[in-house]
Amino acid sequence: AQSVTQPDIHITVSEGASLELRCNYSYGATPYLFWYVQSPGQGLQLLLKYFSGDTLVQGIKGFEAEFKRSQSSFNLRKPSVHWSDAAEYFCAVRTNAGKSTFGDGTTLTVKP
């Protein structure tokens, strides 16, 4: 069975600083990987996805993520964080059977 680990429960960064959120997955076959963002009391919004090809993928809101098969990782990055990026971020792996497994999330706080 697949699993996703987000090692950081909570991260605080200053506005304008760079950001990296970690995600490690476990899955026997080629994974389909996703990052979602959730604002308080809202549903999740898809930021970006990886399923093949270039291992560096670009998403919305200036986010990018890099797939590293050797490390079973799919870390999310942003060069300069804005106050509006404060939210909870979820990494997910989806199998060919269609179901997704989500990590427990990382809460991002942005300091002014």
Partner 1 sequence: DGGITQSPKYLFRKEGQNVTLSCEQNLNHDAMYWYRQDPGQGLRLIYYSQIVNDFQKGDIAEGYSVSREKKESFPLTVTSAQKNPTAFYLCASSISPRPGTQGYTFGSGTRLTVV
Interface contacts to partner 1, rule CB under 8 A: 9, 32, 34, 36, 41-46, 49, 51, 90, 94-105
Q: How far is the CB of 40 from partner 1 (least distance, A)?
A: 10
Q: How far is the CB of 42 from partner 1 (least distance, A)?
A: 6
Quote the CA–CA distance of 24 and 28 in Å, as a whole number.
Answer: 13
28/41 with CB nearer partner 1:
41
Q: How far is the CB of 77 from partner 1 (least distance, A)?
A: 19
What six digits make up the tokens of 34? 């996703």
Radius of gyration of the chain (CA): 13
Strands 73-78 and 19-21: antiparallel
15/24 with CB nearer partner 1:
24
CB atoms within 10 A of CB 19: 17
